[in-house]
Amino acid sequence: MPIQYYLLFILLMLACAIFASYASNKVYGAYKAYGNMPNSSRMTGYDTAVRLLRNNGVTDISVGRVKGTLSDHYHPGKRIVNLSEGVYGDASVAAVAVAAHEIGHVMQKKDGYLPYRIRTALVPITNFGSRLALPLVLIGLLLDLFVFAGQDSGWGYYLAIVGVALYGLSTLFAFVTLPVELNASKRAKKMLLAEGILTEEEIPYADKMLDAAASTYLASLMTSLVYFLRFAVWVLALFGRSNRRR
């Protein structure tokens, strides 16, 4: 691979790392700022989650507590919304925004929101594909070098391309995740206002909190895309080099 490609990918990965660091600092900064801002309804993250579930006709989802900071998540298989310790019992603008965001995912599943369904379907495929990607590329390279040397079979190359495609599933997952998270935040703000948990004056602060969180998913997508392109170019370069040596 030409040196300029290595330099380009290094610069791109450095840019992604800087943006990811910025996004992480942004979300924790917003959480700290709006985590110290009591909401007017005095409802905690737990209160918010329970009310939004009940008032939206969801009766089969429980609300639990997990350790960590911003470790909140919805586990559809276990039918539970887990709220982090700082969100569960806190009556701040940030706490109810984060809790409502997780309920937004519950509502996505209930409504059959298409991007959410696609992301859910991709989870096991992505996990499986990420484990097979590199082995398939290496097997393909070995086939191309030794088994089919001197023959124009192309089987090794095609096998490696399958590996690249499987590796790309993680990028596809990150691509689908972004609209899912943005939609969950949109639903959260709408529910918080409709239920009177936050006022019109407080919603912009919740918006800033949720937008900061969304930037971390954008950073993940950018990083995943750069690594996928790096992997694809590496594979193409390997096969180009092996063909020149014949």
The answer to whether 181 is a known catalytic residue is: no
Of the residues 102, 181, 200, 202, only one is catalytic, namely 102
DSSP string over the chain: --HHHHHHHHHHHHHHHHHHHHHHHHHHHHHHHHTTSB-TT---HHHHHHHHHHHTT--S-EEEEESSSS--EEETTTTEEEEEHHHHT--BHHHHHHHHHHHHHHHHHHHT-HHHHHHHHHHHHHHHHHHHHHHHHHHHHHIIIIITTTS---HHHHHHHHHHHHHHHHHHHHHHHHHHHHHHHHHHHHHHHHTTSS-TTTHHHHHHHHHHHHHHHHHHHHHHHHHHHHHHHHHHHHHHHHHHT-
Q: Which residues contact 70 (CB under 8 A, 6 or more apart)?
A: 27, 28, 31, 84, 86, 87, 98, 213
What tokens were used for 170? 């993680």
Q: How far apart are alpha carbons 227 and 233 in whole angstroms?
A: 10
Q: How many CB atoms lie within 10 A of CB 60?
A: 7
Catalytic residues: 102
